[in-house]
Amino acid sequence: MPNFRDVAGPDPTSARFRAIEALRDGGAMSRAELARRTALAPSTITAVVKGLTAEGVVVETSGSTKARSASRDASRTDLSLNPRLGLVVGIDFGFRTVRLLVADLTARELARVERRLPDHYSAEDGLTVTHELLDQALADAGLAHDDIGAGGVALPGPVNTVEQRVVGSAILPGWYGVSAHEIAERLEIPVVVENDANLAALGEHVFGAGQGSRDSITLKFHSGIGAGIIVAGELVSGSTGGAGEIGHTLVDRRGPLCRCGKRGCLDTYAAVPAALESMASVHPSLGFSGFIELIQSGDPGAERVARDAAELVGEALANACLLLAPERIVLVGAMSRAGDVVLDPIRSVLDRQSIPDHVAVPDVVLGQLGDRHTAMGAVALALRHLGWLPES
């Protein structure tokens, strides 16, 4: 499957390159719009489009109702890149589940599959299951491994993005040192790996609640707590795998031992397991779905536990906001299902901890992609790797 440079060519000043770049970044548009955007003569656009259409790079579609209405042209046709130019896979490894999406260049979902994984699964176990799921998804979409240009892989732990290798961590037992190259060999597709919270941020930034903001923090409030950071439209990865590890900020230096090896981390006080542990004296066998049901029914104990956890998260976010000054904070993950019960305490802490009359308090909103945020971020990562993701 070709990448952007393979299709557009090496010369960024050529009419071909400029036309393909404009359609990548601007989406579907008429010939006249394409001429204006590229500053090319209409005759040049006509010739370039004719060639690209013959190659199957560009396709013609009926213009949108809104575009036809604006132009008062009922027969208007738009030009767009052929969605099949960039077929990718997004893979989201959770703590107990793996989710896999197949998508085209427009990020339209072609197939989706997922499966439960054993607790503390190894890389061998996870990749064996994922290869089976990939075969199933490709069959569902009528595709083969060779049709896929790249896969984005999200992992719930630290990743060295420069070396494309999993960093040693108790959070991912059995994955230490596993590289993108090894994953690619097992899955039979090229892959890029990244931390799951970072990809949740990328997914919401490109396709969800982060759209329109140049600077944002996406907080994954889940079995662990992580943050993905977008600055000037770009994901901040951190080459050593440490960016966004907000769940391991200090709450109490004498607190309980965290799975990361430190004491008193935010995770041990505010993540989902900590919330359920706080409820255990009253509801000893309570699962997370039951916890959310209690919150939705107005149970004061469940609300108190959720609000206390959210206030601790808000304190950590307030410190991050003083450093980064984001326009928006996007909340995703299981605890986001509590809605205003967790949003309101976070907003209150941010308001209280901000510098008066100095910096605007960021909007705090729920993510828009449901449980697909991280997998869609992995799709975005793969499209970016191929050069098909529109420029921020």
For residue range 114-143, list pLDDT tens digits in order.
999 988 889 999 999 999 999 999 999 999
* Each residue's pLDDT tens digit, 224-266: 899 999 999 999 987 666 678 899 999 999 999 998 889 999 9
pTM exceeds 0.85 for this model: yes
**Residue 65 pLDDT level (bands cut at 50, 70, 90):** very low
Task: Specify the pLDDT at position 64.
Answer: 55
pLDDT attached to residue 243: 75
- φ, ψ (nearest 5 deg) of residue 336: -65, -20
User: Angle, to 10 degrees, between the axis of helix 15-26 and the axis of helix 31-38?
Assistant: 110
Q: Exposed, middle or buried by CB within 10 Å (0-12, 13-18, 19+), for 116?
A: exposed
State yes or no: pLDDT of 77 exceeds 90.
no
- Contact, 354 vs 321, CB < 8 A? yes
pLDDT of 267 higher than 60: yes
> In this predicted structure, what is the pLDDT of residue 2?
85
DSSP 198: H
Burial class of residue 171, CB neighbours in 10 A (0-12, 13-18, 19+): buried
pLDDT in tens, 174-210: 888 999 999 999 999 999 999 999 999 999 999 999 9
Model pLDDT for residues 4-53, shown as the tens digit of each residue = 999 999 999 999 999 999 999 999 999 999 999 999 999 999 999 999 99
The string of pLDDT tens digits covering residues 339-382 is 999 999 999 999 999 888 766 889 999 999 999 999 999 999 99
When the pLDDT of each residue in the chain is averaged and rounded to a whole number, the result is: 92
- Whether residue 70 has pLDDT greater than 70: no
Burial class for 16, CB neighbours closer than 10 Å (0-12, 13-18, 19+):
middle
Residue 209 near residue 319, CB atoms below 8 Å: no
Place of tokens 């490109």: 206
Crossing angle, helix 15-26 and helix 42-55, to 10 degrees?
80
In this prediction, residue 272 carries a pLDDT of 94
pLDDT digits (tens, 9 = 90+) for 145-158: 999 999 999 998 88
Q: How far separated are the first and last CA of the chain, in Å rounded?
A: 24
- In this prediction, residue 239 carries a pLDDT of 66
Name the H helices within 41-168. 42-55, 65-71, 123-141
Domains of the chain and any CATH numbers: 4-85 (1.10.10.10), 88-200+374-386 (3.30.420.40), 212-368 (3.30.420.40)
